[in-house]
Structure 1
Amino acid sequence: MLKQKNIFILFVGCCLGVLFSTAGSVLADKDAEQNEQAVSLPFEELRTFTEVFGRIKQDYVETVSDKDLLENAIRGMLVGLDPHSSYLDTEEYKELKVGTTGRFGGLGIQVTMEDGFVKVISPIDDTPAQRAGIEPGDLIIKLDDQPVKGMSLTNAVKIMRGEVGSKIVLTIVREGEEAPFDVTLVRDIIKVKSVRSRILEDGFGYIRISSFQSPTGEALKDAVDELKKENGGPLKGLVLDLRNNPGGVLDGAVSVSDAFLNSGKIVYTEGRIKDSQMEFNATPGDLLDGAPIVVLINAGSASASEIVAGALQDHKRAIIMGTKSFGKGSVQTIMPTGNGGAVKITTARYFTPAGRSIQATGIEPDIELERLKLESLEASSFKPIKEADLSGHLANGNGKKTKTPENTKENDNEEDPKGVDMRDYPLKEALNLLKGIVILK
């Protein structure tokens, strides 16, 4: 008991030292009532914490270092706040910086945690995850037969990264599927080209933004200029595709929104500290000179994507089409710690120009589209029997060779001459809507 009391006194003493060292700045800015609340300590809770700490040190089946116990306590304190706040030790912090600034072997998948499992926000274009058919909302329950339950998001991401060319098996639970299934992926260098564009039909352009980076705004302007040049003049309308775009840099989202707005608020943030209160406004100049825009979103459109969709929707500058977006309307700040690690903590919420919080609600499309899956007959197990399949069938009377399924061209993967993917139902609907708006004008 004496040892436990000593630990308690030392721990409370450290807490008091930290709090009193910062109390001067607190006292300078707050009134007397707030000061009293700021320096008050939860002694009962600290006593319980110290008691548990002592019990573990004394009775746990194996010896545990003070460093591990306190680090785990910090992790638990942050994880209990929300899915996006976490503690990063030195190695994890280094991994985070590599993931955002360097080249690494990975799967190309944006994830979060939900109920102890890794949940897919969206796959990134042209990556192993996207090519393997990973979908927004998929739950990853195993990584190479290793259960994800109880694993931190950082550790899960670390396992998914690895040497380029190496394989990993993800066990997936998907809504609508009766049982979990395995997907084998081969790690690759993840290179994200955030903006792609093409002409759909004469006068109608298409721009796909797969993620928001610092140069995305400039890349968008270049894409619009190229489309105008290819079209031989101004565009009649534009489809802006933000489906499965997991977000990214706030400045990129602001730049993209500003490109189509002449004035007004784009987004603002609110939090408890002064630095978390920001407001971004549009500057004069619309790249399309008022030509209609349809923005495509889905459940994989998150964060910065929702900022763009919300801004254009509130200003009635675009029609939002698709399915409800992901609903990540919070801002995370990474704060390095003295030991070489960092704390990632949620510091603010996003709000659209009309004052709507995106958090946990998402963006409701103006025109909602049902999720459809188009599948060719070739992809199914059933093959219809034709005359040519019958044994001893008569030869063609005109002397032509009988076509067999092998030499008959039935390719539903083709695009039409103007570049519309015939399987992409939302894109076709967006183009039809743009045409209708132009006709009405």
Structure 2
Amino acid sequence: MKSFRDLFDFGYITGKNQLLLFAYMFIYLIYAFTTGLEDSLLALSIVIFLAAPLVPSFLMFVFYLLWEYESTFSFGVTAVLIMQVIMVAKILLAGKMMVKSESKLQSKSYNLQVILLAYISVMGLASLLLTGNMTGIGMIFKTIITFYVISFLKDDKSFETLLKGIFHVLMFSTIIATVYGFFHDTALERWVSGMGEVSQLYGTLGTTRMGFFYLTSMAFFLYFVDNKVIKYIGVAAFSALSFMTISLTVMALYLMVILLYFISLGKFKKTISFFVVATAILFVSFPVWSKFAILQPIVYRVVFASTAFEHGDADIALSGREGLSEAYMTKFWNSGIFTKVFGNADEAFSIVREERVAHNTYIDILFFFGIFGLVLFIIYHLRKLSFIWKKPFFYPLLTMKLVLLLGAFTVSIMSASYFFILIFI
């Protein structure tokens, strides 16, 4: 029982702050089950958010990331805009927008943070002035929020404690968002060749996007829960939810998350042996497990995609994504040299006017920030990972980053709050 109670122990914050965080999450649990009270519940959550100190506010904001698209007041104002303004105001009232951290981990990346934030700010303001688009302003707010909260941490231990808190609240938010999806019937039907219409788990964000958080929640149990029974139950539950997205991207990332966990145990040879044996067993037992209802849609999609690849039709295998990428990249390379280097300060979809978004965040970054911005973005993450690879929190942080950064190749999430908040942690 104690191990189960530990799941509800927000030990990284104490006393009144812990109660505020718990109350904030409880409001969203009520929100998931009700209709007609949205404005009142959102207003109450913002009052609690306003009353909380900086670190609990940040954790509340992290919890909220899955609710951005389902939390608009009836009069048209989005809760995310209000919360961003409150967070930035709290940071400014704290005295400094960014401070140079005492932590070696943070001070090493400080200069890159300043350059990246400055460039995002310039392009965000340019987007507002040239196109009237608020996307860039949102990016500025979110980058300031993350860089500031991370920068005041004094040592690696405090960073690890905050990181556990981030995974912890994301796990609870993911569960409640899934409940919201079931209660409000947000599931979408997808045509799967050989099966017909199949329901995809949608939650509050969409199939693949929810999959990112199922995998991050699974990582919480893998890396931060010691009790083996609870660990296995958590991993099994979020594995099942991942399968229910029927997303090939999520399935590929799922295998990566499992592989990273085994590598983190420090037994590389045993990890390779395990995967070789597991692959052989899965191959031999394919006629049995492929008939399980929860796995059948994934199996059919993999078989269909493999067949399309064999016939040289990558566009069909990738659900039309290859053709979309070609259309967007042709437009990008036909633009002027200044635009190619420094971007257009606008989203790719707004410029190209395709029937569908690019379904590739890096194409969106190219259009918005240019080659310079994309290179800066990549260098920042490579440098950050090089600083932390020997830290005890390396694998959980690497898992979260790779789930988002690799998953971003198949979805357009540049303007999503969770992308710009979580990738800069």
**Is the pair's TM-score, using the shorter chain for normalization, greater than 0.5?**
no
Larger Cα-atom Rg:
1
Higher helix share: 2
TM class, shorter-chain normalised?
under 0.3
